[in-house]
Amino acid sequence: MHQSQDPLVLALDYPGYRKEARIEELGLDRHGVRVHGLLRGPLPRAVSGAGYAARLLANVPSGSGPVAAVAAYCASAPLAFEVAAALGGEPPAIVLFDAEATSLDSITADYRARLGGLGVPPDERELCERADADALADDPGRFVAELAGDLARRARGALRAAGADEAESAASATHMVSAYTDWLSHLVAAHHARTSPWEGEVLRLSSADTDPFGFTCAGRQRALRLGCDRFELLRSEETRAAVLETLGIAPTAGTGERTARCPAA
């Protein structure tokens, strides 16, 4: 890592409300670390890991300097490998927080939850036809379009049944489906992200109440299970210390300064 300027971390942390802490709450900036969030609107609608990463990196300001690490939370974890690989040059570290892999089962479970929020029971036969393993593997664009289209139809029907007129139901459904399409595209791109071959350093940090998940890659993997729960993982001093250590930074207590450790001979 170049020590001539503050280290840069590219962060993959899906936007929107959640109870769990976010990467920005680690306060790495107080230790001289620049953190650039990649998942800023408008979000990509790409459905391959490489395509999604390329669109994210197109929005990184030129002249930002070398990237010290790519950090990712939860379902975004596989995309960190694609982003890191696309950077070229010296491999940055990859830092994963409560990493998860996206599967067909997790996608369909999420879709059922969306329908549940509308008060609409899923038609399991239709869901099996639309959320098909072959379509996810061979035609992910169609897979996203099928589920998004089905959600749009069901959302309009549920809103009309609740008393909304045609214009209101159409507008609300459009907004809902747009947000869902962003999220589903993210999940499908993560599903298709390549985590191997990767020969750089990987740090996996897991909260005490989450089952650790590891990716198959050729890199040097280090896994730490911390004492905090999932909600506090990204506010924890333990987490912050582990990330700073990976970046080669020793935090200076009580200040916003940092000291760079000399690399081992």
Render pLDDT for 36-71 as a digit per residue (tens, 0 to 9). 999 998 999 999 999 999 999 998 988 888 999 999
Helix (H, G, I), strand (E, B) or coil at 10: strand
Q: Which two tokens stand for residue 172?
A: 């609300």
ω before 121 within 30° of 0 (cis)?
A: no
pTM, two decimals, is 0.89
What DSSP character marks residue 52? Answer: H
Residue 141 burial by CB count (10 A; 0-12/13-18/19+): exposed, middle or buried?
middle
Render pLDDT for 235-254 as a digit per residue (tens, 0 to 9). 999 999 999 999 999 765 54
Confidence of residue 217 (pLDDT cuts 50, 70, 90): low
CB atoms within 10 A of CB 132: 16
d(CA 169, CA 156): 5
How much is the pLDDT for 74?
Answer: 96
